[in-house]
Structures are given as structure tokens and as C-alpha cells.
Homo-oligomer: A and B are copies of this chain.
Amino acid sequence: MVKKIQSPTQNKTATRLLNVAEVLFSEHGYAVTTVRDIAAKAKVNQALINYHFQNKRGLFNAVFERRATIILQERIDLLNAAREKSKKKPIPLRDLIFAFVYPPLRMASEDKGGRSFVKLQARLHNEPKDIEHELRVKLYDNVSLKFVEELKRTLPKLSQTTICWRLIFVMGLYLYVASNTGRLEVISKGRASGADLTRALPEILDFCEQGFLAPATQP
């Protein structure tokens, strides 16, 4: 957690640390990134990391929460807007998928920090278990459950189990795209770019919408 802000000066230093840490953690992961590197790149004395965030772990959590809450709130907002628009009827499938994948993709296309953060989010499950578990339960799980409920209304013929599998597929797929691993460039021999998120969005929606509509071969 970030300490309560007590002065503009503290705030500025803490923000610079957050910005730099975001990039480094995303690029190299929690373990490989050192507080020395973060402090150096932020041109801040190393001891200030402990002063502001208690320890390395506290800094990581602060980095994560700052961005994750934005994505999650936006998902909820889009979901509510879609529900409003469709009155009592189920929300159209494409709108649901959009509400889920757009916020992180938008963030990833906005600035360097956003691009970094979404990579960080994608690799969260590779970080030490305790870190991962705490953040996931605290931040993500209940929003995901809301989407399951809406998908059940929209796709009443599918079993809840199949719906959950398919939502997992959407997660895996958008996280991989957002991580921008460079694979797309290789297999397309440079014809497509993973960083091109205005292209990625319709491709994802086309694929996932049809995927979700597939008749289930399992109960």
C-alpha cells in the first residue's frame, strides 16, 4: 500500500518510483528486478523505497493496484452501460466480450506505463505464489464472477462449466496478445504487429464471439 500522502514532494518521488518500477517489474519480473535498479533509474535514493513503500513487495503491490483498479472499474462500467442499454434482455455476446477485453487492451495501447502494466498483469501468475494469490483474490475474482453470471443469461443453452472454460480461453488469449511476445511478427513474417491494438481488438472479438457460440460437444 502507498503511505498516505503528506506533502507534494513525497508524492512526486513516490510517483516517479511507481512509474519506473512498473516498467522494470513488467520487463523483467519481480525477482529479477532489484530495488537498486529501480532507484537508479528513477534517480531516487535507494532508501526512499523503503521509506515510502516499506519494502520491495510493498512497492510491487502499489504498482499493481494503481493500474488494476482502473481496468476493473472500467470493466464494471462497460458492463453496467451494456446492461442499461439492453434493458431487461440479456446483454449481446459481443458487448460482453468487449467489456472484458477492451479495458486492458486500451490501457496497453495508451502509453509506455500502460503497455508495461498489462504485461505485468499477464505474468502475475508466474510471480511468487503469495504475491499472486493476494492480488488476484483481492482485485480480480469478483469481477470475473459477474461476467460469468451475465454470460449465463446471454447463452442459456450452454452449461455453466462450458461457459467458464470459454471465459478462461478469452483470458488466456487476450493476456497473451497483450504480452506482446513477438511471436506474431515471426509467424506472419512481419505482416502483422502485436502492438497494433486497433487491429487486435476486432480480431479478438471476431474469434471469441464465434468461439463462444460454438455448439458444445460436452454437457
Contact = CB atoms under 8 A, between A and B. Distances in A.
A202 B215 CA distance: 11
Interface stretch (A13-21, A64-72, A104-112, A162-170): A162-170
A183 B168 contact: yes
Given A164-B192, A191-B161, A176 B173 contact: yes
Interface stretch (A39-47, A48-56, A84-92, A203-211): A203-211
Interface residues of A, number: 58
Integer count of this chain's copies in the complex: 2
Contact of A187 (B167, B175, B177, B187): B167
A17 B38 CA distance: 35
A128 B28 contact: yes
Contacts of A216: 206
A188 B145 CA distance: 8
A182 B171 CA distance: 13
A53 to B, nearest CB: 21
24 contacts: A28-B128, A29-B29, A29-B126, A31-B31, A125-B179, A125-B183, A136-B183, A145-B187, A148-B187, A164-B191, A165-B199, A166-B203, A168-B183, A169-B177, A172-B176, A176-B176, A202-B217, A206-B214, A206-B216, A207-B211, A209-B214, A210-B210, A211-B211, A211-B214
